[in-house]
Amino acid sequence: METSVDKVLKPAPLKNGAGFNSQKTPETVSTNKRLKRSHRQIRAENIFRRTIMIVAVATVVLVTGIMVTLAYQSRLSIQSAGLGFLWGKVWDPVRDIFGVYPFLLGTLLTSFLALIISVPFSFAVALFLGEYFPKGWMPDLLKNTVELIAAVPSVIYGFWGLAVLVPIVRTFESAIGVDAIGQGIFSSSLILAIMIIPYAASLGRSMIQMVPSNLKEAAYSLGATRWEVIRMVILPYTKSGLFAGVMLSLGRALGETMAVTMVIGNTSLIPKNIFSPGNTMASVIANEFTEADHPVYLSALIELGLVLFVVTVVINMIGKRLIKGVTK
């Protein structure tokens, strides 16, 4: 279509004076100029359209490239260990044994523990801002402060955790009579719990605000108290939205690297309880990637990255699908 327009507006035939006598009148000169300009504009327009299309294609290529790179670079490890990689209980790079069960366990423990701690707080903030006090300066302040929690760099959380939280946890551990190490799964869960509050909170708030007010008013007119309205109207209505928020938080927690690396204690042993030190998938990669001195070791770390990539992408996609379902 564009090419036919191109042909029609091409100034070339006019240059020869076809259709007119060969003498150039002032009008033909100005039409000629105008047509030339249109032609230039149309060319620029086509270039622009093509550029933005190429950029959009490039995003697809970029993500495909990421997946292909991870899969290709982990081929050595996939070949040598196969699926046993996932439940091998020993990680010993010196003897070339790569089992990531300790890290899987560490990742799941820290993430779910963090989720359990943070969800009540997130939902409280969501209810506070979405239902109890939607307007005013104080809720505004709370909203902005909670959003700032997500803005603080994770390395700063890690440093603070190392300097302040770990000694506190250590005292707590010696008080309840377990090995007082301080660094470990429990400390990292606490840090993670703080870090992931905003994700479920801000999504939950917008979901709760979307509950139609006639539903709530109907419940109030039947004599329901506020708590009953929340439990019987708001929660059932926003169920999947709140769940999506929890999913996004979980995705964050699984992929979080620096803060966890700094406070988890970094051992490749299977954690005995929630207070013992361990490692997560992300923290192993961060710690050992530059030390990996032979190809299989490196490839095993990349396979860990691949697993992490797939898990976080799946969880994020579930969350995004749920949000789409609710908002449509």
* 71 binds another protein per the rule CB under 8 A: no
Q: Which is nearer to another protein, 101 or 220 (CB)?
A: 220
Binding mask 255-274 for another protein (x = CB under 8 A): xxxx---x------------
- Least gap, CB of 173 to another protein (angstroms): 19
- Ramachandran sector of residue 256 (left: φ over 0; alpha: ψ -120 to 50; beta: rest): beta
Question: What tokens does 60 get?
Answer: 């697809």
- Ramachandran sector of residue 177 (left: φ over 0; alpha: ψ -120 to 50; beta: rest): left
* 196 binds another protein per the rule CB under 8 A: no
Q: Which is nearer to another protein, 113 or 315 (CB)?
A: 315
Q: Which is nearer to another protein, 101 or 309 (CB)?
A: 309
* 22 binds another protein per the rule CB under 8 A: no
Q: How many residues bind to another protein according to rule CB under 8 A? A: 83
Q: Which is nearer to another protein, 80 or 287 (CB)?
A: 287
Among 151, 175, 176, 213, binds another protein (CB under 8 A): 151
Maximum C-alpha span of the chain: 106
What span, in angstroms and rounded, lies between the C-alpha atoms of 73 and 97?
A: 18
Of residues 74 through 133, those in contact with another protein by CB under 8 A are 120-121, 124-125, 127-129, 132
Of residues 308 through 327, those in contact with another protein by CB under 8 A are 308-309, 312-313, 315-317, 320
Instruction: Give residue for tokens 């550029």.
Output: 51
Among 5, 12, 29, 63, binds another protein (CB under 8 A): 63
Q: Which is nearer to another protein, 63 or 218 (CB)?
A: 63
Of residues 274 through 313, those in contact with another protein by CB under 8 A are 282, 285-286, 289-290, 301-302, 305, 308-309, 312-313
Among 85, 91, 157, 186, binds another protein (CB under 8 A): 157
Stretch that binds another protein, among 48-56, 87-95, 171-179, 234-242 (CB under 8 A): 48-56
Q: Say which amino acid occupies 98.
A: F
- How distant, in Å, are the alpha carbons of 14, 50, 79 from that of 3? 18, 14, 52
- Please, what sign has the CA dihedral across residues 258, 262, 267, 270? negative
Among 99, 102, 251, 278, binds another protein (CB under 8 A): 251
Among 5, 12, 29, 44, binds another protein (CB under 8 A): 44
For 170, list phi and psi in degrees, rounded to 5: -60, -45
Q: Which is nearer to another protein, 23 or 160 (CB)?
A: 160
Q: Which is nearer to another protein, 112 or 178 (CB)?
A: 112
* 48 binds another protein per the rule CB under 8 A: yes
Burial readout 65-98 (b: 16 or more C-beta within 10 A, e: otherwise): eeeeebeebbebbbeebeeebeebeebebeeeeb
- Least gap, CB of 217 to another protein (angstroms): 16
* 201 binds another protein per the rule CB under 8 A: yes
What span, in angstroms and rounded, lies between the C-alpha atoms of 161 and 309?
A: 26
